[in-house]
Amino acid sequence: MSPQPMPGRIHVAILLLACLAGLVFASVSTFDFAQHLDRQEHQLHCSFIPGQHAEAAPGESLGCQVTMMSPYSSVLRAVVWGGVPVSLPAMGVFAFLAFRAIDLFGRRGRGRRSSAALLFACAWIPVIASAVMGAIALFELDAACKVCIGIYGSSLVTVLAAGLAFASLRRPTDDGGDEGPQPSAGAIWGLGLVQLGTFVAVPILAYVTLMPDYSRYVGTCGKLRDTQDPGGVMVALDANDGAPPAIEVFDPLCPACRGFDRRLAASGLDRKLHRLAVLFPLEEACNWMVEGAVHPGACTISEAILCASEGKGPSTKAVIDWAFEQQERIREAAKADPNAAKSLVVERFPELGACVGSAAIQQRLNRGLRWAVDHELPVLTPQLYVGGTKLCPEDTDLGLDYSLTRLLERRGGEP
């Protein structure tokens, strides 16, 4: 008599396909992350179709880019350059689930039920991780990453299929007695968890072990001639007066600057620095070094920040936070009407109305730009100089925690 077909076989097949889909999406995400380990910029596969590249519109960031560059895309960033991408353990988990799904086909009797229970329990791991990451993307980053959504979807199908497979195998309809002694449920669970750990740990070990030594790049990107501020162009961003001075050259309407600010805050390293900003708006209206308005309205917003730093109403931080929050809106409005940026500032901070646009504040902003000329800085934002030593531009995103920690260590400060 031929053996009865395994109940829930279709569910296990769906489960296997979902795991493979999850593995593919997680692999694409890890690939995108890992290719940045050469410290260059690369296109991302921000598409539901694996392998397809996506281009962001000028001035916009793709959801995948925002997600990948966010502090949540990897862990252990201060230890490993860029950190370990969260999609790497996801690859391990999906590979493990795929392995257990295949394994389930070959199991009989009680062992099969325990195996299905293990599979169902472990299938919750990517679902829980997806829920957490999805919530972060939605509420914290306000960005939708298609590859991530692929992982979320695969995780959901995986757990549903695993649940249905488990439910269909709960009743001992086939005893499989012809296979001899079956391992105990405890053994199956114990071995399964060891396997899970191995599937996750081995790729991580390979990833970390094969990484180049990035510490040799720290502090090799130049220095400021001096960190003096005779013209009063710098704006203190915190009250950490005793900490090493960190001069930040930034444009309040530059998305990369906002991302940098958020990564710095998320790393917690901002508390180890005394941050001083030099405003460098990338807009021709006040900055002769750029052609056209890369970030329309940036001159006016920079003036508003300088006004706030002179105690004319809101705190500097409040204005910067508002500008970062409203970047897209301000840029769009200023693109259509050059006076719109000032109107938006006055609408939000009426007390700055008299100061923004005044000759004195325009001159102060100009002094900041000329400070950049005197120090022969590159025309780009953001830039960070810790104690006068430049943080390499390649280290301002994924490598921020790692490189900044080492830069601080080299200064003799506690990281």
Binding residues vs other proteins (CB under 8 A): 23, 27, 30-31, 34-42, 88, 91-92, 95-96, 98-99, 102-103, 106, 195, 198-199, 202-204, 206-207, 210-212, 221, 230-232, 286, 288-289, 359-360, 362-363, 366-367, 369-370, 372-373, 375-380, 393-394
Q: Which is nearer to other proteins, 42 or 53 (CB)?
A: 42
256 contacts 300 by C-beta, under 8 angstroms? no
Q: Which segments of 268-366 are extended strands (E)?
A: 274-279
Compute CA 24 distance to the chain's CA centroid, rounded to the nearest angstrom: 20
Nearer to other proteins, 331 or 390 (CB): 390
The encoded tokens of residue 49 equal: 């179709």
Which region, left, alpha or beta, applies to residue 236 given φ > 0 means left and ψ of -120 to 50 means alpha? beta
Least gap, CB of 38 to other proteins (angstroms): 4
33, burial (CB in 10 Å: exposed 0-12, middle 13-18, buried 19+): buried
What is the rounded distance in angstroms from the CA atom of residue 80 to the CA atom of residue 1?
58
Comparing CB distances to other proteins, the nearer of 115 and 326 is: 115
Query: Which of residues 114 and 326 has its CB atom nearest to other proteins in the complex?
Result: 114
Q: Alpha-carbon Rg of the chain, whole angstroms?
A: 27
Q: Which is nearer to other proteins, 48 or 105 (CB)?
A: 105
User: Nearest 5 degrees, angle CA 80-CA 385-CA 400?
Assistant: 20
- Quick one: tokens of 371? 């400070």
State the minimum distance, in angstroms, from the CB of residue 81 to other proteins: 10
* Shortest Å, Cβ 260 to other proteins: 14
SS3 at position 223: strand
Minimum gap (Å) between residue 272 Cβ and other proteins = 26
User: Residue 375 Cβ, how far from other proteins at the closest point, in Å?
Assistant: 8
Quick one: tokens of 123? 């299938």
Q: Report the distance separating Cα 294 and Cα 151, nearest Å.
A: 35
User: Closest distance between other proteins and the C-beta of residue 31, in Å?
Assistant: 6
Nearer to other proteins, 333 or 404 (CB): 404
Match 């022969």 to its residue by tokens.
Answer: 376
